[in-house]
Amino acid sequence: MKRTTIAIIGMIIAFITIVSTFIKDNDTGSLFGFEMDIWMYRLIWLALFGVILNGYLKERKKI
């Protein structure tokens, strides 16, 4: 139960980050102190969301 809660919180954070990049309309994003193109930044956060979602679905299937 605890792992699923952490996964849900991680997915919410990733989703909010992706949505906020569209609202702020920046040209670059900063990840670990590195400036990068905003689309690469969004792609990294989307991939993180997908990895967390995949783990959540596998964990949920076990229960």
In which band, very low, low, confident or very high, does the pLDDT at 1 lie, cut at 50, 70 and 90? low
What is the tens place of the pLDDT at every residue in 3-62?
788 999 999 999 999 999 999 888 888 888 889 999 999 999 999 999 999 999 998 887
Q: Which domain holds residue 27?
A: 2-62
Residue 39: predicted pLDDT: 92
Residue 26: predicted pLDDT: 83
Residue 15: predicted pLDDT: 94
Residue 63: predicted pLDDT: 67
- Among 58, 62, 53, 38, which residue's Cα sits nearest to residue 8? 53
In whole angstroms, what is the distance from residue 36 CA to residue 48 CA?
Answer: 16
Number of domains the chain is built from: 1
Sign of CA dihedral 17, 20, 22, 26: negative
